[in-house]
Amino acid sequence: MNFENIEAFVYVFHYGSFNKAAEVLYLSQPSVTARIQSLERELDCRLFDRLGRQVHLTENGVKFLPYAQQLLQTYQKGKQQLQRPRMIPQELRLGCTGSVSNYIIPELLPRLKARYPGLHMKVTTALTDEIVAKVLNRELDVGFVRNITHPNLQSLKFYEDPIRLYTYADHPLAGKEEVAAELLVDEPFVFFECGSLDWLRIHRVFQSLNRPPEIEFHTDNAEMAKKLVLNKAGIGFLPGLCVSKEVREGQLLPVNVAEVTGVGLQTNIISLNGEQTEVVRFLLANRPGEV
């Protein structure tokens, strides 16, 4: 069986598009179509149904998918094992989103250095999509990104950072265990968001109210948002990691908002399938809350 055909099948399923799969595989769309057709002839069944521009697995495609994924991953791991001269490289190239770079990496890297004294580390801060692309292109070895999946990547949950409402110490809401979202509409807000689905959930809560909250400041920088709250410019929803020091010192106080309970930012650790396994195991064992 041709592994390139299986690869095309898995990619078309993952991206839901022959064109997108072709783009990622650096192939023409007809080449991807030809590979799928060749696989279908070999299996003597149709694997995809096309409805306009949408592509869906047939019943046989659904049955074959887990076996195709396992075959492809096993092949990739074996190939990478042969190409990899050692488990731990002399240089480790890490890619991190801004929050990880600011609040996790400074504590994590000294532990990694203590475990592997000869290891040199280079850290790049970027957005999730850029980090994913660099890991796939072997420009980075390990990435810390938002929750993603990709057939060529091992993507494991690293940390979930709860998002809560925070006030400065002498704010009228400080010390309250829980408030309803409708009671916040008159409060001046410092609104931090990073474009993830978690922030969209918070937006939807306020969109359901009779009138929106008073957003005085809107920023994509967590440190700026935190300092604005500390300077009493307003109250705001913030990830727990960025305010942990200020909460310990009593400068900021968390307030539960029932409508956004359970909202958090999940960070995953990614690497190419079968690579950096020892490093990844060490990083997972030293994630926040594990030590």
Characterize the bridge pairing of strands 91-96 and 142-146. parallel
**More confidently predicted of 271 and 207:** 271
Which residues are CB-neighbours of 124 under 8 A, at least 6 positions away? 93, 94, 95, 96, 131, 134, 140
pLDDT at 249 over 90: yes
What pLDDT shows up at residue 287? 82
The Cα 211–Cα 166 span in angstroms is 21
Radius of gyration of the chain (CA): 23
pLDDT at 198 over 70: no
- Backbone phi, then psi, for 110, in 5-degree steps? -60, -35
**More confidently predicted of 199 and 162:** 162
Characterize the bridge pairing of strands 54-57 and 48-51. antiparallel
pLDDT at 275 over 80: yes
In the structure encoding, which two tokens stand for residue 257, read together? 């908002």
Question: What is the model's pTM?
Answer: 0.63
pLDDT at 115 over 60: yes
Q: What is the CATH code for 3-83?
A: 1.10.10.10
User: Of all helices (H) and strands (E), which one includes residue 272?
Assistant: strand 264-272
User: Across all residues in the chain, what is the average pLDDT?
Assistant: 85
What pLDDT shows up at residue 278? 84
- 160-265 shares the fold of 91-153+267-285: yes
Domain spans in the chain, listed from the N-terminal domain onward? 3-83, 91-153+267-285, 160-265
pLDDT at 195 over 60: no
Question: What is the SS3 string spanning 141-186?
Answer: CEEEEECCCCCCEEEEEEEEEEEEEEEECCCCCCCCCEECHHHHCC
Question: Per residue in 39-89, pLDDT tens?
Answer: 999 999 999 998 777 899 999 999 999 999 888 888 877 766 665 544 556
Query: Environment class of residue 262 by beta-carbon count within 10 Å: exposed (0-12), middle (13-18) or buried (19+)?
Result: exposed
| Contact between 185 and 209 (Cβ < 8 Å) | yes
CATH 3.40.190.10 fits 160-265, yes or no: yes
Distances (CA, A) of 262 to 27, 119, 180, 239: 42, 38, 15, 12
Lowest mean pLDDT among 49-53, 192-196, 278-282: 192-196
Architecture in CATH for domain 91-153+267-285: 3-Layer(aba) Sandwich (3.40)
Beta bridge partners of 148: none
Lowest mean pLDDT among 37-46, 153-162, 194-203: 194-203
Question: Per residue in 163-193, pLDDT tens?
Answer: 889 999 999 988 888 888 888 888 898 888 7
Question: Per residue in 77-94, pLDDT tens?
Answer: 776 666 554 455 678 999
